[in-house]
Amino acid sequence: MITPKISVVVPIYNVEKYLDRCMQSLQNQTLKDIEIILVDDESPDNCPKMCDEYASQDPRVKVIHKKNAGLGFARNSGLSSATGEFVIFVDSDDWIDTTALSIMYNEAIKNNVDTVFCNHDLETNSGNFDTVHEIKENRLLTSKNEIAQYLLNMIGAPASEANDRLYSMSVWHALYSVDVIKKANILFFSEREFLSEDVLFHVQYLYYSQRVSLLDASFYKYCLNETSLTKTYRSDRFLRYIDLHKKLLSLFSEMDWKVPMDYRDSVDRLFLGYVRRNLLRAHIPKGEEKEVIRSIAKNGYLKEVLGRYSVNEMQLKLRVFYWLLSKKYISGILLFRNLI
């Protein structure tokens, strides 16, 4: 049996209105030697039947029907069946350019890398796409120090930067070595436990990655989906941010990168950014805003992180926000919410 060049893992849950668009972009790839692994996470709509129909029409399509356990574990199921040299993850409500897999695979082979990161295109409210241009030139990362620095900038940018991170932490804009993943037994954690399973995957994966290509190209179309979990308010979200922060610190402390790494600053920036965006953008039920903000502002764990982070080096607007948060000025934070 010929080994596919790329395994495409597609977790599927309640996306029947988007699935055809995604599948057309995958089945029409200019790179034909691929396998498409559809992981039906016990989808309640017509997706399970649609998956079986794709498989009956295209021998490159595999279908896994499993009990619902969330995105991270669905990706794990796909990885367990992947037989390709490389793997790419595509969310079923998004799609990719038809040349994506060919260009990324050729880049990996040409430069003998185990990982290729690209830019991505973000759908606007008008339905057009704008490129999120994080990678501005083609680069090869060939040392552990370079790879570690890329990871830290993916987790959290230096305090002086306006953006919370310099590179997207999502797994869907990259090509990964299946050999690296399986030899190191790297798995996704559940987003139901830590909220951001992608960043935890990258901390594990990039530790073992030897050569990384940063490609100034954009193939992935990240589409607006108002029903996605990231748009939904959860009362336990702040506590899950704390869990993620603790888990990241734990993972880094267990690893010996053998290069200088001030990982705590990056992890703290990630945590503070999540807290800020949750307080300012989450759709908190009307009438509950003050109590939600107050309960977070007085949290001892947040106070500890704010106390050690270099807030004074941040951009003025961020300094003001975190000062209001540290002083528990609820009305000031509410004003910030109303201004964005």
Per-residue pLDDT of the chain (340 residues; tens, 9 = 90+): 578 999 999 999 999 999 999 999 999 999 999 999 999 999 999 999 999 999 999 999 999 999 999 999 999 999 999 999 999 999 999 999 999 999 999 999 999 999 999 999 999 888 899 999 999 999 999 999 999 999 999 999 999 999 999 999 999 999 999 999 999 999 999 988 888 999 999 999 999 999 999 999 999 999 987 554 444 567 789 999 999 999 999 999 999 998 888 899 999 999 999 999 999 988 888 888 999 999 999 999 999 999 999 999 999 999 999 999 999 999 999 998 888 6
The residues facing 89 across adjacent strands are: 9
Give the per-residue pLDDT at 340. 67
Question: What architecture is domain 6-228?
Answer: Alpha-Beta Complex (3.90)
Give the per-residue pLDDT at 229. 45
197: how many CB neighbours lie within 10 A of its CB?
24
> How many angstroms separate the CA atoms of 298 and 296, rounded?
6
Beta pairing, strands 115-123 & 86-89: unpaired
Contact predicate 41/11, CB 8 Å:
yes
Give the per-residue pLDDT at 286. 84
Give the start-to-end residue ranges of the domains of the chain: 6-228, 230-339
What kind and span of H or E run contains 35?
strand 34-40
CA 226 to chain CA centroid, nearest Å: 18
For 268, the 3-state DSSP assignment is helix
Q: Give the Å distances, CA to CA, from 296 to 193, 213, 231, 319.
A: 19, 40, 20, 18
Q: What is the pTM of this model?
A: 0.94
Give the per-residue pLDDT at 227. 54
Give the per-residue pLDDT at 126. 83
